[in-house]
Amino acid sequence: MRVLVIGSGAREHALLLALGNDPQVDALAIAAGNAGTAVIADQHQVDITSGDDVVAVAREVRADLVVIGPEVPLVLGVADTVREAGIACFGPSKAAAQIEGSKAFAKDVMAAAGVRTASSEIVDNPARLDAALDRFGPPADEAAWVVKDDRLAAGKGVVVTPDRDAARAHAAGLLEAGHPVLLESYLDGPEVSLFSLVDGQTVVPLLAAQDFKRVGDGDTGPNTGGMGAYAPLPWLPNHVYQAMVSEIVEPVAAELVRRGSSFTGLLYAGLAITSNGPAVIEFNCRFGDPETQSVLALLDSPLGQLLYAAATGDLASFGELRWRDGAAVTVVLAAEHYPGRPRVGDVIVGSEAEGVLHAGTARRDDGAIVSSGGRVLSVVGTGADLSAARTAAYDILNSIRLPGGHFRTDIALAAAESKIRV
């Protein structure tokens, strides 16, 4: 099988590595890629938001399967164009990708499917902002305002704060920029990222993972695209995992089928485990980054065959997934100033080490590998348990040099110390 992966992040690097371990995969290509993926796949620089460009590459490399990583091409309908060209595609249609692309659509699907989620309200008129903040604000202890950009914002448009002035300032800034604001009720409890392969009806859940969204240790500072992740979650009871699948993911997949926009690809449920059970923070229409790097490090089943089965409606006959024992911890090395405007062009030393996945990297004419984006590398450590996997990840990270680079030192720490309770 010949596989073309679309995207340029560490998630796509992880997908390529896992696909390469599948004995039935004999050729790998990527568009657009980075300095790390160029070493393991045939790399094509095209506009990945153009369905025609993606199909042209898929034909050139004679792809049997196209795997679309990021949300932007999916929301724009690139998967539809690939399927119309007669090529199997792992990734939802434009209609189904609205589960991520439109928060209003996602809330409507969840309401119809009877799935628990935060209550919400869209504010597009500055004159209504204060009254809305008062309806959603915290009198309750430990509560917070949740203020979101109602458009795709790569995780960075969200402010969660107990400070009304900060909440108001973020909302006012979005409104000034012409972006509608989504206010949500606050969901309290540890977060879980649950990825499921879906081929319309059949839902095959992967190992649950946890992501670290804030830039700083101890969950301080602004939200990012994700600074680290680990799997599995030793603190997550099996009955809660089962409930996430049967009460949340399966009903949502069934509701999408009922609406005629059945989902083919990776359905990502971002959940909070509240005192009343799991509730949805958001759905995404693709593999999460950096959780994928941890989850795929533990997958023992052949990924190419698995994604092909999902793409062709054949998941039901795939059988049980196999997982490796132990744990995987991913730590993101970010560029100076990220999640603000990152500094780029710095030389990176040590990025060839095993366990290092590339995101914002490029190869300079003189051969040096330099930073080219906010999240630069993902470092994945595995081990018998979370402590061992943490040690492995941080050992690799400490051998890498990036001027101004920063990373969190507490990825998976609370879980390794058994400090997370549900």
* Interface residues toward ligand GLY, by CB under 6 A: 155, 211, 226, 284, 288-289, 291
Binding mask 265-304 for ligand AMP (x = CB under 6 A): -----x----------xx----------------------
Contact 301, 348 (CB under 8 A): no
Pick the closer one to ligand AMP by CB: 44 or 170: 170
Q: Which is nearer to ligand AMP, 225 or 405 (CB)?
A: 225
CB of 235 to ligand GLY, least distance (A): 19
70 binds, among ligand GLY, ligand AMP, none (CB under 5 to 8 A by kind): none
Binding mask 110-149 for ligand AMP (x = CB under 6 A): --------x---------------------------x-x-
Provide, rounded to whole angstroms, the least separation between the CB of residue 318 and ligand GLY.
24
The token pair at 47 is: 């506009």
C-beta atoms surrounding 157 within 10 Å: 18
d(CA 37, CA 23): 19
Residue 214 Cβ vs ligand AMP, minimum distance, rounded to whole Å = 8
Residue type, 403: P
Do 290 and 330 meet the contact criterion of CB atoms below 8 Å apart? yes
Alpha-carbon gap, residue 265 to 322, rounded angstroms: 19
DSSP reduced 3-state for 200: coil
Q: In the stretch 216-255, what mask flags binding to ligand AMP with x, by CB under 6 A?
A: -------x--------------------------------
Is 171 a residue that touches ligand AMP (CB under 6 A)? no
Using the rule CB under 6 A, is 184 a contact of ligand AMP?
yes
Task: Give the shortest CB-259-to-ligand GLY separation in angstroms.
Answer: 24
**In angstroms, rounded to a whole number, what is the distance separating the alpha carbons of residues 321 and 365?**
43
Peptide bond into 339 cis (omega under 30): yes
Tell me how far the alpha carbon of residue 123 is from its chain's centroid: 27
Nearer to ligand GLY, 226 or 374 (CB): 226
Q: Show the CA angle centred on residue 309, arms to residues 304 and 311, nearest 5°.
A: 95
Choice between 1 and 192, CB closer to ligand GLY: 192
- Please give the structure tokens belonging to residue 122: 């869209």
Min dist CB 213 to ligand GLY, Å, is 7
Give the separation between CA 216 and CA 232, rounded to whole angstroms. 22
Report the sign of the C-alpha dihedral through residues 17, 21, 25, 27, in that order: positive
Residues that bind ligand AMP (CB under 6 A): 118, 146, 148, 155, 158, 160, 184, 186-187, 191, 213, 223, 270, 281-282
